[in-house]
């Protein structure tokens, strides 16, 4: 007997496929996540991902893509 299961739920992500890491801040200039966050994103709980997502708007201030530190 086959079980009726729904397809896997998509994981929300801030990725915009602009993957460039700012050396000074360690943040991706596309989504503002750290490399560790990007690497563990699919294994994070919904609550952990929501906490990171809540922090992202303020992270842009930490990165300077033009290198004007």
Whole-number pLDDT of residue 2: 57
CA-based torsion, 17, 48, 60, 26: positive or negative: negative
Residue 10: pLDDT band with limits 50, 70, 90: confident
User: Could you tell me the two tokens for 31?
Assistant: 């989504």
* Residue 9: HSE in the Cβ half-sphere, 13 Å Cα cutoff: 5
* pLDDT digit string, tens, across residues 13-28: 999 999 999 888 889 9
What pTM was estimated for this model as a whole?
0.75
Please give the share of the chain, as a percent, with pLDDT higher than 70: 84
């Amino acid at each position: 007997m086959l079980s009726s299961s729904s397809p896997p739920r998509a994981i929300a992500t801030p990725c915009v496929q602009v993957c460039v890491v700012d050396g000074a801040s360690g943040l991706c200039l596309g989504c503002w996540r750290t490399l560790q966050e990007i690497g563990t994103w699919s294994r994070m709980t919904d609550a952990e991902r929501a906490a990171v997502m809540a922090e992202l708007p303020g992270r842009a201030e930490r990165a300077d893509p033009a290198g004007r530190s």
